[in-house]
Structure 1
Amino acid sequence: MALSIMLQGTGSDVGKSVLVAGLCRIFFQDGYRVAPFKSQNMALNSGITEAGDEMGRAQIFQAEAAGIKPDVRMNPVLLKPTSDMQAQVIVMGKVFNHMDAVTYHQYKPRLMDHIEQVYRSLASEQEIIVLEGAGSPAEINLRDRDIVNMGMAERIDAPVILVADIDRGGVFAAIYGTLALLSDDERARVKGVIINKFRGDVALLHSGIEMIEQMTSVPVLGVMPFIELNIEDEDSVGLSQNKYRQRNHASHNQLDIAVIHLPYLSNFTDFNALAIQPDVHLRYVMRDEKIGYPDLLIIPGSKNTLGDLKYLRESGMEQEILRLNQLGIPIIGICGGYQMLGNRLYDGIESGIAQMDGLGLLDCETRFSAEKTTTQVEAKVSVLPPDDEGLFQVDNEMIIEGYEIHMGQTVIGSNTRPFCRLISRNGQVVESDDGAVSLSGNVMGSYIHGIFDREPFTRQLLNKLRQRKQLPPLEQSQSLDAFKQREYDHLADNMREYIDIQKIYRLMADHAEQQSKQTKI
């Protein structure tokens, strides 16, 4: 059985997901077969495996850091909120049910045996498993039915490292308070602490570290500095705090691309490939912020399409979108954003709203159904029509790749043309159209997430936008995959410098030895 180490946090958004990715990268660099695991994930940011299974995006980028393909066993339970009270429950990559918080909390123990079986199946193929908790293990009102923090650690007998975020303040109180709320057995399972996101001179922390170690008898394994990393976030918390906010403006030589930040925004990682381009200034527009005059406006995916469409109306953003369309500014809708651009949406599945008029910028209608489409796809982008600018078309046949996650089917009318032709779904040959482009050529929608990840299509699109801005074309785009690999290596280098990785190796080995002795007894 594989060695294991579990990272739990003093709270949410303390950096567990990134540190798990860093450990996966380190172990991979050191020649080990390693995989991430998170028994239950709550996030609107998900992806699709080669088998067509849906899983949390965090475990996907952790798998990338580990040098392996994503496997739904790495995230057997995924919760996708559809409102403040309900979430779609996805088990082993497929929709299981919709539940409110109380119902799901009561149901969780029935999942535990299955989760353990999945974990052991994954661990049988690896040498090390790096587990991630969720939120905090000190949520005493939820402890009796926990399946993702100490409940999971106890079930598979994993040692735990506690991660604390010093950037938000009160780090020593968070460490002490978390450990104080654990039972004696749970505290004994915590083998170390990592203080994360530190800014400044670490010498100022030495006295505090000595005191917290004396008070808790738990060693601090390292202090990670606050480092700028472009690694995919698990959710959009970072977007609403500071990342990609409108603090800066695009320079004259940059393209200004604005993405509307919807309340139920999903799969915002679709736009990471744009954000890393040297000629792109990507920004997210929050409520009460002006969209301005971007070179391209994007309406992203949503887990509650009609609810977010209602938000666009009530916030005044709908009028802003229509204004930009009148000015000829290009607009792209991805998945839920594509559905919103149409004439009419018929729901009753996702939002509880029966039907609603869309933005009316694409001649299409969408009907939601209970069956969810989750596929990896390849497609050929439609070739440029004669005598047409074809902003969203290509000059020569071009392949794009991505994935679909949606519960609606869209039918286009005579005043649109398809965006692309699907040629495979989950490796199976198909022939069907996807998306729509308006006859004006300024509005496009598609169900395909990740369409910007392939550099040729993205560079051609950006160069057409540059031409509109009277800027010369660029010959090459930044490769997203190569960029991510460099970021994983950069993260691993910093963790090796500031965290006692050898001590982590030792505590995993010591714990495994104790397990072996107990088994023999």
Structure 2
Amino acid sequence: MRSAYGLAPSLMVQGTSSSVGKSVLVTALCRIFASAGYRVAPFKSQNMALNSAVTVDGGEIGRAQAVQAEAAGVEPTVDMNPILLKPEEDARCQVVVRGRPVGSFHFSEYNRMKPDLLPVIRESLELLRGAYDLVLIEGAGSPAEVNLKADEIVNMRVARLAESPVLLVGDIDRGGVFAALVGTLELLEPTERAAVQGLVINKFRGDPALLTTGLEFLMRRTGVPVLGVLPYCSDLQVPAEDSMSLDGGCWQGRGEGWLDIVVIRLPRIANFDDFEPLAQERGVRLRFIRHAHELNGADAIILPGTKSTVTDLEFLQQNGLARLICARAASGTPVLGICGGYQMLGQEIRDPKGVESDRMRVPGLGLLPVVTEFSPLKTTQRVSARVTARVGLFATVAGSMVQGYEIHMGQSRIIEVPSPCSEPLEGPFTITERQGVATEERDGAMDQTGNIVGTYLHGLFRNGPVRRTFLTYLADRKGVAPDPGWGTCSSVEATYDGLARLVASHLDMARIAKLVNLPL
């Protein structure tokens, strides 16, 4: 039921802390209400993440909101995440407003900007509420951070703007969930506490009967009903926003891992969700590593994207990883660099305008004859591409089309050919469409064997044939049989449906639907 101003209802999900499952729950609710026939939009006023996505008009938003929009069956827009913060070094962040970067600021400077950003948040929220049947809002961190409340623009202040009831989520897997839920409510102002209409306990393992007395205690102590207990489920996850999710070190594939793929865990790693599709394949072990000795046994090495290419390249050089990656590449281990990782594989990185650092020239790993030069202009585009590699990692799908996106500062160009007798180096991909406009542009670079490849294409492994040919190439090199199911594992649509079924079966959806006056 719409408000007196013709605006759609909203429901907000807040948490007792970061990483309690807010993004996953909003994703599931997007799917549940969309499957019931409602037009649903996700919203997060301010997102701090290095995993980002590109909208159809070339804007940049947090990856989580793009995933939530996908689950809702709608096109993501910049209004779904009007403020994106991309952390940099020295307590700074790049501030992206409505999809466009406005500058790099120290966090103290950003705090002073917040009053000017509230109207942007209000306008984006009202645009969504005017265009959709329901807006599902995600908070950030905890609403009870008393040292931050005066300046916050992502939790209870947004709930007031949206006139939204709030679900408060706690993570029982980390322990102390009862104290976290009660303590959070105790630290809220009376009007804020009144907005909390339900509690959700997430990531529960074991017999639900063991929780009965605890749930009764919560109701007696807070007066807020527990609307559900969600089980721990590692098979139905959405892309993580925070690189802290990588600190476990390994995303094990399905079944016993006979292919060992290593991703370098750069300090400022970005868009690491590029590799989740690999981790979902049977027989694949995907490891995120920080130290040189952890390269032992790797069948392939991946250099991922980064928010600070120069600083993270220095990290590789200082801890011995750079030397060992080059040695492994020389001995035949396949190496793939994506975005910032591609830039690192080149001969040199130039930054004459100080876009990223105060170093004008930095030597790269020297594995590809490429030079990158940074400029203030940021590329954020969706692209279609054709595989043009004739040898190496992607040769068996040459001619096939892939979908992806670009998010990067700077441009890279090939500067030389390894020898006068060699054929000119080709890019492994050719861009055929940018933001819906036809083109014909080379992307990336590779060595003469196709064993070392760099590209700016994010989302590459979401393309099943590319994923299959990459893994098959590694299997052939290792002398093991490829799995016939590679590249065909369950689609993202099936994942969203499974997540929605799981959540709907453990939440009191009738009461939640009543909160927004939208029957299910």
Same fold (TM over 0.5): yes
Aligned-pair distance for 1:50?
1.6
The answer to whether residue 26 in structure 2 is matched with residue 20 in structure 1 is yes
Q: 2:346 aligns with which of 338, 342, 357?
A: 342
Q: Is the 8 A contact 1:82 1:351 kept in 2?
A: no
Q: 2:496 aligns with which of 488, 496, 519?
A: 488
> Which residue number in structure 2 is paired with residue 53 of structure 1?
59
Runs (5+) with no aligned partner, structure 2: 1-6, 418-424
Q: 1:234 aligns with which of 236, 241, 249?
A: 241
> Which residue number in structure 2 is paired with residue 261 of structure 1?
265
SS of match in other structure, 1:175? helix
Whole-Å Cα distance in 2 between the matches of residues 493 and 457 of structure 1? 30
> Which residue number in structure 2 is paired with residue 518 of structure 1?
none
Residue deviations 1:310-349, cap 9 Å, x none?
Answer: 1111222112201211211010000000000111111321
Q: 2:319 aligns with which of 289, 303, 315?
A: 315
- The amino acid across from 1:405 in the alignment is I
Aligned-pair distance for 1:239?
1.4
SS of match in other structure, 2:229? strand
> Which residue number in structure 2 is paired with residue 299 of structure 1?
303
Q: 2:436 aligns with which of 404, 424, 427?
A: 427
SS of match in other structure, 1:215? helix
SS of match in other structure, 1:407? strand
Q: 2:76 aligns with which of 70, 74, 98?
A: 70
Aligned-pair distance for 1:476?
5.2
Aligned-pair distance for 1:186?
0.6
> Which residue number in structure 2 is paired with residue 148 of structure 1?
154
Write out aligned runs for 1:42-441 (5 A).
Answer: 42-228=48-234, 229-241=236-248, 243-244=250-251, 251=257, 254-287=258-291, 290-347=294-351, 348-384=354-390, 389-394=391-396, 396-415=398-417, 416-441=425-450
Whole-Å Cα distance in 1 between the matches of residues 40 and 356 of structure 2? 37
Q: Is the 8 A contact 1:145 1:151 kept in 2?
A: no
> Which residue number in structure 2 is paired with residue 500 of structure 1?
508
Q: Is the 8 A contact 1:239 1:245 kept in 2?
A: no
Whole-Å Cα distance in 1 between the matches of residues 507 and 47 of structure 2? 26
Whole-Å Cα distance in 2 between the matches of residues 395 and 105 of structure 1? 49
Q: Is the 8 A contact 1:47 1:57 kept in 2?
A: yes
Structure 1 residues 436, 132: CA separation in 2 closer, same or farther (over 3 Å shift)?
same
Structure 1 residues 241, 293: CA separation in 2 closer, same or farther (over 3 Å shift)?
closer
Q: 1:29 aligns with which of 29, 35, 60?
A: 35
Q: Taking structure 1 as the reference length, what is the TM-score of the superposition?
A: 0.92
- The amino acid across from 2:239 in the alignment is E
Whole-Å Cα distance in 2 between the matches of residues 152 and 281 of structure 1? 41
Aligned-pair distance for 1:94?
0.7
Q: Is the 8 A contact 1:392 1:444 kept in 2?
A: no
Q: Is the 8 A contact 2:255 2:283 kept in 1?
A: no
Whole-Å Cα distance in 2 between the matches of residues 453 and 220 of structure 1? 37
Aligned-pair distance for 1:243?
4.7
Query: What percentage of residue pairs aligned between the two structures are identical?
Result: 45
Whole-Å Cα distance in 1 between the matches of residues 227 and 398 of structure 2? 55
Structure 1 residues 366, 277: CA separation in 2 closer, same or farther (over 3 Å shift)?
same
SS of match in other structure, 2:217? helix
Aligned-pair distance for 1:36?
0.7
- The amino acid across from 1:360 in the alignment is G
- The amino acid across from 1:349 in the alignment is V
- The amino acid across from 2:501 in the alignment is D
Structure 1 residues 350, 365: CA separation in 2 closer, same or farther (over 3 Å shift)?
same
Whole-Å Cα distance in 1 between the matches of residues 404 and 297 of structure 2? 29
Whole-Å Cα distance in 1 between the matches of residues 132 and 284 of structure 2? 40
Whole-Å Cα distance in 2 between the matches of residues 34 and 5 of structure 1? 11
Aligned-pair distance for 1:100?
1.0
Aligned-pair distance for 1:51?
1.3
> Which residue number in structure 2 is paired with residue 446 of structure 1?
455
Q: Is the 8 A contact 2:250 2:285 kept in 1?
A: no
Aligned-pair distance for 1:22?
0.8
- The amino acid across from 1:244 in the alignment is W
**Equivalent residues, number:** 503
Q: Is the 8 A contact 2:168 2:200 kept in 1?
A: yes
Whole-Å Cα distance in 2 between the matches of residues 396 and 478 of structure 1? 16
Aligned-pair distance for 1:472?
4.0
